[in-house]
Amino acid sequence: GENVEQHPSTLSVQEGDSAVIKCTYSDSASNYFPWYKQELGKGPQLIIDIRSNVGEKKDQRIAVTLNKTAKHFSLHITETQPEDSAVYFCAAPPFSNSGNTPLVFGKGTRLSVIA
């Protein structure tokens, strides 16, 4: 089945700097890669996603890049702000799996933006 590895588990950056979180996946047939943001005391919320027919997608200060050959995708946050502090999860669908979950999530990255 699909295995999603996420690094780093914690990340601290100065306000205004960039942050990068990387995920690798194992199922080469996977073709959809979402990123969810979880603020303290709340449920995860989708912030950006990418499909395998594109290599990069941007939405204001956040971007996601995908390398299908290497089977990894990354979240990039530029000009970080205190409100970016949260736990971020990557995910990938187990395309070839037994069908008991629509998404396999990474273990999460706790991002702290220091003012």
105 binds other proteins (CB under 8 A): yes
- Going residue by residue from 48 to 87, which x/- string records binding to other proteins, judged by CB under 8 A? -x-x------------------------------------
Q: How far apart are CA 34 and CA 28, in angstroms?
A: 16
Candidates 17-25, 44-52, 60-68, 70-78 — which segment interacts with other proteins by CB under 8 A?
44-52
Q: Which of 7, 11, 13, 31 binds other proteins (CB under 8 A)?
A: 31
Q: Which of 13, 22, 26, 32 binds other proteins (CB under 8 A)?
A: 32
Helix (H) or strand (E) holding 58: strand 56-59
Neighbours of 44 (CB within 10 A): 18
Q: Which is nearer to other proteins, 78 or 105 (CB)?
A: 105
**DSSP 3-state of 99:** coil
Q: Which of 25, 27, 34, 88 binds other proteins (CB under 8 A)?
A: 34
In 3-state terms the chain splits into helix, strand, coil percentages (rounded to 5) of 5, 55, 45
Whether cis (ω within 30° of 0) applies to the bond prior to 102 is no
Q: How far apart are CA 30 and CA 88, in angstroms?
A: 20
Binding residues for other proteins, rule: CB under 8 A, are 6, 9, 31-32, 34, 36, 41-46, 49, 51, 89, 93, 95, 100-103, 105-108
